[in-house]
Amino acid sequence: MRLGPLAFACICVAVTVGCGTPAPTTKEAPIENASAPKGTELKPAFTKPEEVAEKMQVPAYPGASFDDETINKSYKNDQGEYRLALTMVTKDPVDKVAKFYEGAFALQSFKKENGVDIMGRTKSGTFLMLSVTAESQGTVIRAKGIVSDSEKKPATNPM
């Protein structure tokens, strides 16, 4: 399946909006969710980035370091879905990292000015958006995903 530039942009926006939440200033801070009733606090779903990677079924890039703050962007909503975010950094070049993840997932990949985006629904039903970009600290791998808590119920489509 080939996606045109407009479809790609729509998917990027939908996944970003579906997974994006403001980062709290501490690990103890609640996560605010616009779709939750006023006063509802969503606590981070995991305490370690490795747990987020396992739930998303995103393999850690060999030798990459995790950004511990990304656990604050991962939570479980009232519909039983995990909205997950994960960031890793490596000194390896973008092309090598992108090939690693393109081999791990049979998803659409799109080259961009400073990297590659890989996105779609994995075989396990997770909606995944993986961005591999060259930045000042090295190659940054950002993964966002929506995972259903139930094997029988796939994650909702962010579109």
Chain segment 35-84, per-residue pLDDT in tens? 444 444 556 667 788 888 888 889 999 999 998 766 667 777 777 788 88
- DSSP letters spanning the chain: ----HHHHHHHHHHHHHHH--PPPSSTTSPBP-TTSPTT--B-BS-SSHHHHHHHHT-PPPTTPEE-GGGGGG-EE-TTSEEEEEEEEEESS-HHHHHHHHHHH---EEEEETTEEEEEEE-TTS-EEEEEEEEETTEEEEEEEEEEESSSSSPPPP--
Reported as a pLDDT band with limits 50, 70 and 90, residue 32 is very low
> In this predicted structure, what is the pLDDT of residue 11?
57
- pTM of the predicted structure, to 2 decimals: 0.67
Give percent of the chain above pLDDT 70. 62
pLDDT for 12 beyond 70: no
Q: What is the pLDDT of residue 21?
A: 45
pLDDT beyond 80 at 140: yes
